Amino acid sequence: MNSKFFLLLPILVLVFGGCIRTNEDNVSFDTLKVPKDFNWSTISNVEVNVNIVTPSSVPIQQLENMPLDIYDDSGNRLARKSIKNGAAKFQIQIPASIEAYFVVFPATNEYVRISKGNAIEQVTLRLERIVQTRSTEITVLSETFPIAGRSNYPGWIVQGGDVNEVGGNDPGNFAPRINTDISHVWGNSQSQRLLRTPAMSLCESFTVSFRRRIHANTGAFTELYLMPASGSEVSPRVLLGTFNFTAINTWYNEELTFNLAALGVEPGEYRLGWATFNTSAGNSSRRLWIDNVVVNSFICIEDTDGDGVPDQYDEFPDDPNAASTTYLSGSGYIYNCFEDLWPSKGDYDFNDMVVASRTFINYNANNQAVSGGSELILRCLSGSLKNGLGVQFLHGTTKAALPNNTVTNFTNIRGLPGLQGEASNAATLFTNVFAAQERYYANDGEGPDATALDTFRFTFQIANSTLPIQPDFFIFIDQDRSHEVHAPGFPPTGLANSALFNTKDDRSETGQWYTTFNGLPFGLKIWVATGNPEAAPVFKHSLSKVRISDAYPQIIPWAQSGGITNTNWYLSPVTGSVYQGL
């Protein structure tokens, strides 16, 4: 789903991770102190409000329902929305290691670069590369016509034709005219000749401009016709205009705009044709010259499901209720790593259960979330307790509760023997991780290794919400659904036992849930890129009883800085301290 965006201009290679600091003071994970409200997240939630400015010749309504994308600086698409009234609003998750991202208009590949930093971004995208979105031009250039022999016509020239209403039906030919006072133009020199353009796709409306000239017969007139691209020029044929010649050997310039609906014509493939007649006798005049023909028209857009989004940009072209998909973790996975002794501190190896998750949301043409799903990969199971796994869906930027029944109808499509929906946008995925495994493995250096990782998938429905949505995966201890453990900052569900807060080592408070007195976590959510959204994740969790600060020493200065420095700490493990298997 994450298509690649190749920038049209070179981009300097960004150095990920910012300033690299070391743990010069030999601070341990026990003595580490972090800034208040530090959320231990390697992801930033960002709201991006985009306003689009078009050239003066392009009405903003022309962009309605066209897509607007956000890409990271590796060319991975992070999100897609439909343009509404010249604007689009995104709520996205940006990995800490990314220094910049791009708002892209895929119809022209025009973009604006945004340096990561603000939680709310106001962005203006100025489109300059296009004259008309979804337009086509056909230009009849007189200088391209052959001279010698007047027979080697360009392949796109249609010869012959008959209006069939002025007496006679000789199709004949037309040829380039060469006079001393006129450059190469297209003209007819015999009766009953119709000059025709190449076939063109017309949709909604079109504008035609050309110049015309008559060699003789003052008072003659020219008729302009719209006719099918193939088959008879007679039926159906629509007269678009009649133009008088008040003087001979004089160029007249014309520019006309037509609406297909007003003409009673369906969108499709057509040609334009000209014929010249005497005003009195109705016979064809001689030496009509037509030159510099330009036709601008909307291309007929395929929209199979009728949702307003062109098929070429609609990821669900046969479904009017869905138009695009956004993977909340972009091109990577979120690693959900837990300690299972909460409210007591554990050994800080964060491998009692490690679940890599990838969640997608489907949006309709009105940018409302309508459905989604998650893939879960059980990476490590170092604990001995029969822990369960749950999920709740929260507001994507504030972590506040969503309105009741925003996320419902959880459906198991692979694994998850205990999946059951709960009240208030949550679900129990399984109650006993050992029972959920197809074959027991630990992947911690002490227990058995996996020959294949257990993967679970489920889907859900969303009540056409425009709110940002993010999942919070959590564990509950030893099959006790009320004994929940979340990453810091994520609130408990309505089934959690509130009596456990602020006991033993827990010092939770509203907004800073599941942390110790010095701000240490009981769970981590770590974003890891894969480079390929279909590839396996690459984060290597700690071996059993190896503290994460021993396996990844850069986590200490990262946490001390409040997440500003050492943002790629999770990519630099100490040799021999992390699991190297699947």
Closest CA to 453 of 338, 375, 339: 375
pLDDT in tens, 236-289: 678 899 888 888 888 899 999 998 889 988 887 888 888 776 654 545 445 677
Q: Are residues 56 and 179 in the same domain?
A: no
pLDDT, residue 1, reads 41
Q: Are residues 216 and 110 in the same domain?
A: no
Q: Are residues 126 and 156 in the same domain?
A: no
Token pair for 410: 């959880």
The answer to whether position 336 is within a domain reads no
Q: Are residues 181 and 268 in the same domain?
A: yes
pLDDT, residue 194, reads 63
Provide mean pLDDT across the span 330-339. Answer: 91
Q: Are residues 157 and 262 in the same domain?
A: yes
CA angle 567, 570, 576 (to 5 degrees): 145
3-state secondary structure of 433: helix
Provide mean pLDDT across the span 388-403. Answer: 95
The answer to whether position 543 is within a domain reads no
Q: Are residues 272 and 289 in the same domain?
A: yes
Burial letters for 23-57: b for 16+ Cβ neighbours within 10 Å, e otherwise? Answer: beeeeebeebebeeebbbbbbbbbbbebebebeee
Mean residue pLDDT of the chain comes to 81
Alpha-carbon distance 436 to 416, whole Å? 6
The answer to whether position 366 is within a domain reads no
Q: Are residues 113 and 198 in the same domain?
A: no
Domain boundary among 298, 320, 339: 298
Other Cβ atoms less than 10 A from the Cβ of 269: the count is 12
**Edge-to-edge order in the sheet of strand 100-105:** 77-82, 67-72, 100-105, 110-115
| Residue 165: CATH number of its domain | 2.60.120.260
Alpha-carbon distance 330 to 314, whole Å? 19
Q: Which is it for the CA torsion 406, 409, 414, 420, positive or negative? A: positive
More confident residue, 310 or 338: 338
The answer to whether position 185 is within a domain reads yes
Identify the band that residue 135 occupies on the pLDDT scale cut at 50, 70 and 90. Answer: very low
Domain boundary among 101, 132, 163: 132
Question: 43-53 and 120-126: which strand pairing?
Answer: parallel
| DSSP code string of 230-252 | SS-SSSS-EEEEEEE-SSSS--E
Q: Are residues 206 and 76 in the same domain?
A: no
Low-confidence winner among 36-45, 291-300, 310-319 (lowest mean pLDDT): 291-300
Amino acid occupying residue 334: I
Provide mean pLDDT across the span 554-573. Answer: 92
Half-sphere CA count of 48, side-chain side, radius 13 A: 33
Phi-psi label, residue 489: left if phi above 0, alpha if psi -120 to 50, beta otherwise = left
Range of the domain at 214: 135-298
Domain boundary among 132, 161, 186: 132
Closest CA to 511 of 407, 403, 399: 399
CA angle 109, 110, 116 (to 5 degrees): 110
The answer to whether position 406 is within a domain reads no
pLDDT, residue 537, reads 62
* Residue 192: pLDDT over 50: no
Phi then psi dihedrals of residue 349, to 5 deg = -90, -15
The answer to whether position 145 is within a domain reads yes
Identify the band that residue 179 occupies on the pLDDT scale cut at 50, 70 and 90. Answer: very low
Query: Are the beta carbons of 364 and 323 closer than 8 angstroms?
Result: yes
The answer to whether position 293 is within a domain reads yes
Q: Are residues 286 and 180 in the same domain?
A: yes
Q: Are residues 84 and 211 in the same domain?
A: no
Q: Are residues 246 and 289 in the same domain?
A: yes
Question: 182-188 and 120-126: which strand pairing?
Answer: unpaired
Amino acid occupying residue 143: E
**DSSP classification of residue 578:** B
CA angle 479, 482, 484 (to 5 degrees): 85
Alpha helix positions (H), 392-521: 433-436
* Residue 435: pLDDT over 60: yes
Alpha helix positions (H), 510-576: 548-551, 555-560
Alpha-carbon distance 166 to 276, whole Å? 10
The answer to whether position 141 is within a domain reads yes
3-state secondary structure of 79: strand
| Residue 87: CATH number of its domain | 2.60.40.3330
Alpha-carbon distance 32 to 561, whole Å? 11
- Number of independent structural domains in the chain: 2
Query: Are the beta carbons of 518 and 549 closer than 8 angstroms?
Result: no
Closest CA to 93 of 39, 51, 52, 53: 39
Identify the band that residue 499 occupies on the pLDDT scale cut at 50, 70 and 90. Answer: very high
Q: Are residues 96 and 147 in the same domain?
A: no
